[in-house]
Amino acid sequence: MHIKEFQQLISERYEKRDRQRGTDATFMWFIEEVGELATALAEKRKPQKQEEFADVLAWLCTLANINGVDIEKACRKYTQQNIEGCK
């Protein structure tokens, strides 16, 4: 599955509710999932890590959807040869 396809799937399933919630509240849910990922990483819990990575990606897609951002297109900056700003 391509990133664009996953983002579209998230849109089809959740975008109506996500738009009603708005960016600020959705961002807080995203941050909560990032925190859960951090905990899973720190505790080296492989099954939970996989689940939390998926949750973080889904919430990132949600944020992108309600803010009109195509994540796959945005990621092109990392596929170009002369990448600036990468550490």
State the DSSP code for 73.
Answer: H
Q: Is the pLDDT of residue 82 over 90?
A: no
31-79: per-residue pLDDT in tens? 999 999 999 999 987 889 999 999 999 999 999 999 999 999 999 888 8
CATH T-level topology, domain 1-6+24-70 = Helix Hairpins (1.10.287)
Q: 24: burial class by Cβ within 10 Å (0-12, 13-18, 19+)?
A: exposed
| Residue among 2, 1, 11 nearest 58 (CA) | 11
Structure pTM?
0.87
Q: How confident is the model at residue 14 (pLDDT cuts 50, 70, 90)?
A: very high
Per-residue pLDDT, 84: 67
Per-residue pLDDT, 81: 64
